[in-house]
Amino acid sequence: GTYALPEAQVDRFLMKVLVGYPSEEEEFVIVERVTGSAYEPFAVADTDQLLELQAQCRKTYVEPALIQYAVRLAATTRQPDKYLTYGASPRASIHMIECARALAFLRGRDYALPQDVVDIVPDVIRHRLVLSYEALAEGLTPDELIKRLMQKVRPPEKPMQAHVRVEAQPQPQGQARTPAQS
């Protein structure tokens, strides 16, 4: 059989994306592709191209106000609450920013917006929340608690000015970022 992973292991997953059933049209395409003639895969990018895209994505600017927003969201889940036994670890803040950066890049921007963070919060946090017995007894879900959290912790109103923006700088192994570097 299978066993539930401990919270410390679950926390290492970047996201928990909920995928519903496909529409009839989508399912038709799936069945047609699976049962049809043999499909010959082809490369759409090589390793060097993928590494270059990762490097470009890493340069996507995330302003400090968005980082603070992600930190506040995660920290708020760790405050005592009758519905939460355990909240999100600092990995959640890191993953929210990395996912927001990737989403902004996929949306064709070299900077992240508050909406990029808002859009990824449920997928990044839902599996990190351990609901209390009271929450489970009331039939609450992690997504319902995340909605409440996002109403409580609002995203920044407007982005910083363009002249303040700087690219993310990789840190040497073992060195922490100082506030002056942020």
Would you say residue 112 lies in a domain? yes
Q: Which string of DSSP letters, residue by residue, matches 41-75?
A: ---S--HHHHHHHHHHHHT-B--HHHHHHHHHHHH
Read out DSSP for 116-165?
A: HHHHHHHHHHGGG-EE-HHHHHTT--HHHHHHHHHHHSPPPSSPPPGGG-
Residue 126 included in any domain: yes
Instruction: Please report whether residue 20 resides in a domain.
Output: no
User: Is residue 170, in this structure, part of any structural domain at all?
Assistant: no
The domain that holds 100 is classified in CATH as 1.10.8.80
pLDDT at 163 over 80: no
Residues 64-107: tens digit of each pLDDT: 999 999 999 999 999 878 999 999 999 999 999 999 999 999 99
| Single pTM value for the model | 0.80
- Is residue 85 situated within a structural domain? yes
Residue 28 within a domain? no
> Does pLDDT of 161 surpass 70?
no
Instruction: Indicate the number of domains in the chain.
Output: 1
Model confidence at 127: pLDDT above 80: yes
Any domain includes 3: no
- Quote the mean pLDDT of the chain: 88
Domain that holds residue 150: 63-156
